[in-house]
DNA sequence: ATACCATGAACAG
DNA sequence: TGTTCCTGGTATC
């Protein structure tokens, strides 16, 4: 389920198991083989997330780049077991503490540092990180006639939001996804920024996307919130708050969800 | 057993 | 705008 929160959690969790150590790097599936050989046994200085991207800073000076896309997944095997790779493992990272397998990523490469710079240069601010330039996001939105639902999914406008957080942030802010960006006022932009910041950070903590307030759910405290009741509008048939039927739109070939009552055009 | 769809994005034309 | 790459859960038969 890779939106930005997943990537930040991975950076944090994997960092504890890999950084500052010699890491064995291989590619059981083969497609990362020659790159893996160049850093096999090097020290991993840090894993840096930005939006949905991960950058592996290796002691050789080269930088690994991973983007999970829709299907990419990591599997952690703690301890010193070295299980046979299951499925198409593109990259295997081995430290004294764990074996971590990467399968199905959209991107997995080893590059010169300039490549990282180019990628960061085309990404918008990451609401999970501190000291981000939210004004850059505001400027792009207010200069555009594209719909805000379209803009929020554009990683060069803001980095890390995917289809679930788009639907949920616009719902909480009461903004219709087709409102042109240039029609939003400052209060709405500020509300959007603080909403996505809080939502994605909570996602990192929870390890999943839960956007509904517990108090709005009719379940006992402490009980796990099921998938399907964790969102207000995303993939729901009826609005969590007012019961209106949720509308679906196709925006750039992705399904967008909104409540026509809570998010008037 | 099989089909289809999805929390993503690059690329062709 | 449509195609392509990748995997796995859910729906459908």
> What integer pLDDT is reported at residue A117 of this predicted model?
95
A112 among known catalytic residues: no
**Is residue A24 classed exposed, middle or buried when 0-12, 13-18 and 19+ CB atoms within 10 A define those classes?**
middle
- CA-wise closest residue to A161 among A107, A108, A123: A123
Say how far A108 CA is from C10 C1', in Å.
29
Cβ of residue A256 near strand B, that is under 7 Å? no
> What integer pLDDT is reported at residue A45 of this predicted model?
98
> What integer pLDDT is reported at residue A221 of this predicted model?
82
**Is residue A13 classed exposed, middle or buried when 0-12, 13-18 and 19+ CB atoms within 10 A define those classes?**
middle
Average confidence (pLDDT) per 10 residues, chain A, 265 residues: 92 97 95 95 97 97 96 94 90 96 94 94 96 97 95 96 96 96 97 97 95 89 84 93 93 94 95
Q: What is the DSSP string of A143-186?
A: T--SBHHHHHT-TTTSSS--HHHHHHHHHHHT--TTSBGGG--H
> What integer pLDDT is reported at residue A1 of this predicted model?
64
> What integer pLDDT is reported at residue A217 of this predicted model?
87
Give the residue ranges of DSSP H helices in chain A: 4-18, 33-39, 113-121, 134-142, 148-152, 163-173, 186-206
Cβ of residue A119 near strand B, that is under 7 Å? no
In the numeric block, which tokens belong to residue A182? 């240039």
Q: Which residue is nearest to nucleotide C8 (CA to C1')?
A: A71
A229 among known catalytic residues: no
> What integer pLDDT is reported at residue A220 of this predicted model?
83
Q: What's this model's pTM, rounded to 2 decimal places?
A: 0.96
- Give chain B positions with protein CB within 7 A: 6-9
């Amino acid at each position: 389920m890779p939106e930005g929160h997943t990537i930040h959690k991975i950076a944090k969790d994997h960092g504890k198991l890999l950084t500052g150590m010699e890491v064995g790097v291989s590619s059981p599936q083969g497609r990362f083989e020659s790159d893996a050989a160049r850093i096999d046994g090097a020290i991993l200085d840090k894993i840096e997330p930005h939006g949905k991207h991960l950058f592996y800073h290796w002691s050789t000076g080269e930088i690994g780049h991973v983007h999970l896309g829709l299907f990419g997944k990591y599997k952690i095997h703690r301890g010193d077991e070295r299980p046979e790779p299951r499925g198409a493992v593109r990259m295997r990272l081995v430290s004294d503490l764990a074996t971590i397998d990467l399968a199905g990523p959209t991107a997995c490469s080893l590059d010169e540092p300039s490549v990282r710079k180019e990628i960061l240069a085309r990404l918008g601010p990451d609401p999970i990180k501190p000291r981000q330039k939210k004004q850059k996001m505001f400027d792009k939105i207010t200069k555009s006639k594209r719909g805000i639902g379209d803009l929020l999914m554009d990683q060069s406008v803001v980095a890390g939001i995917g289809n679930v957080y788009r639907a949920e942030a616009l719902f909480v802010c009461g903004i219709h996804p087709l409102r042109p960006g240039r029609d939003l006022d400052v209060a709405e932009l500020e509300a959007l920024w603080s909403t996505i910041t809080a939502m994605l950070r909570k996602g990192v903590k929870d390890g999943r996307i839960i956007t509904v307030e517990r108090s709005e759910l009719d379940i006992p405290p402490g009980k796990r919130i099921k998938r399907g009741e964790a969102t207000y509008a995303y993939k729901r048939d009826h609005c969590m708050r007012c019961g209106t039927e949720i509308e679906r739109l196709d925006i750039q070939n992705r399904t967008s969800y909104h409540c026509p009552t809570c998010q008037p055009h």
